[in-house]
Amino acid sequence: MTEKKHKQIFIHGAISSSFIAESIQKHSSKTNIGAHSIFLGQVRSDSINDKKVIAIDYSTYEEMALEKMHELREGIFAKYPLTCMHIYHSLGTVAAGEICLFVFTSAIHRKEAIDACEEMVELIKKELPVWGKELFEDESHQWKVNK
């Protein structure tokens, strides 16, 4: 038995604004959609003990993450009447100010799109096996902790 191939969500490096714009554009033919909800996670330049974060280096346990994402996606689709949902997460180095997470839900009406988007972001933060290593100006680092 071959293992089921899950949809890829990882993008190497930052998620560009043109990629996001194109994703939105692609939905213009789906005229039953009345609302999109988009969450964009941006790398924040925190100051920790007077050292500034200049980038985050993301890594994952890819096989597990894609399996988990498949499960989370099915849960969200079962709960909300969505037309579609797209999720992208960066891997590798993403500089402060760049986008590292893109969650995009679409539905007939706004409430489902907004609620599903919010819930998916929370699930990603809590359940997706991804780790962020905060890189400082002086080349030292620390492992990010999600709040």
Partner 1 sequence: MPINITAFGQISEFISGTISVDKVNDTDSLRKHLVVQFPSLKDINYAIAVDKKIISVNTLIEENATIALLPPFSGG
Q: x/- binding map, residues 27-56, to partner 1, per CB under 8 A?
A: --------------x---------------
The answer to whether 132 contacts partner 1 (rule: CB under 8 A) is yes
Q: x/- binding map, residues 108-127, to partner 1, per CB under 8 A?
A: -------------x--xxxx
Q: Quote the tokens at residue 147.
A: 């709040």
At closest approach, how far in Å is the CB of 109 from partner 1?
26
| Closest to partner 1 by CB, 2 or 146 | 146
| Closest to partner 1 by CB, 51 or 141 | 141
Stretch that binds partner 1, among 12-20, 23-31, 72-80, 128-136 (CB under 8 A): 128-136
